[in-house]
Chains A and B, each alone.
Chain A
Amino acid sequence: QQQVKQSPQSLIVQKGGISIINCAYENTAFDYFPWYQQFPGKGPALLIAIRPDVSEKKEGRFTISFNKSAKQFSLHIMDSQPGDSATYFCAASPHTGFQKLVFGTGTRLLVSP
């Protein structure tokens, strides 16, 4: 079963717009929630991560919002740029280690010029 559900599967946003990707989880043992960015032909790379003791984390144009009670978290990309076009994966892992890291199914983002 899919432990981390990610939506939408694909997203088209105009340059300068806001991109929003959502994820939901069931396992309350998860305590680390990273987002990975993957460009075509490359491996995923960590973009930003959050732990459940905070509700929001911002790094530049990228923000994670976390709702512990709803077991949901989302990635917001402000002022989206064509260079942000990539596939984004949310993930979650428990404190017991990264061998338990579970990825969402990915969102392909296209930012049109």
Chain B
Amino acid sequence: NAGVTQTPKFQVLKTGQSMTLQCAQDMNHNSMYWYRQDPGMGLRLIYYSASEGTTDKGEVPNGYNVSRLNKREFSLRLESAAPSQTSVYFCASSEDRKLNTGELFFGEGSRLTVL
């Protein structure tokens, strides 16, 4: 049982390059999320998807796009990477809040460095 799987785990980009972070979950969860984690800032929500076919902006969406490809997969794209996007990115998933204990399941993270 893999849970939430993110790829790649590490990536180095040059300013202006583009890339896509991939995320897949095998728990049949409706909701999926992308967070970024920076020192002293905690985890901040970039985008989320409450169900297949829907996406919404979180706290820090600028410079990012997302795609909810199907119920399992939720990708995060950086169209033109900037050094300010150097961070550790986490994908997470959850069941509908009313149905469960309120737990987010996180992947192991993707560490991105933009030079």
Q: Could you list which residues of chain A lie within 8 angstroms of chain B, going by C-beta atoms?
A: 6, 9, 32, 34, 36, 41-46, 49, 89, 93, 95, 97-99, 101, 103-106
**Cβ of B2 under 8 Å from chain A:** no
**Cβ of B73 under 8 Å from chain A:** no
Chain A min CB distance to B64 (Å): 15
Contact with A along B10-46 (1 / 0, CB 8 A): 0000000000000000000001010000001111110
6 smallest CB-CB distances across A and B, nearest first, come from A43-B106, A103-B42, A103-B43, A105-B42, A46-B103, A99-B48
- Chain B minimum-CB-distance residue to A9: B40
Q: Is the CB of B104 within 8 A of A99?
A: no
When the two chains form the complex, which single residue of B31, B43, B97, B102 contacts A44, counting CB atoms closer than 8 Å?
A: B43
Q: Is the CB of B42 within 8 A of A46?
A: no
**Cβ of B52 under 8 Å from chain A:** no
Q: Is the CB of B41 within 8 A of A45?
A: no
Interface hub of B44, B104, B107 (most chain A Cβ within 10 A):
B104
Interface hub of B4, B56, B106 (most chain A Cβ within 10 A):
B106
Q: Could you list which residues of chain B lie within 8 angstroms of chain A, going by C-beta atoms?
A: 4, 31, 33, 40-45, 48, 50, 56, 58, 90, 92, 94, 97, 101-104, 106-109
Given contacts A34-B102, A98-B102, contact A44 B90 (CB under 8 A): yes
Interface hub of B41, B42, B101 (most chain A Cβ within 10 A):
B42
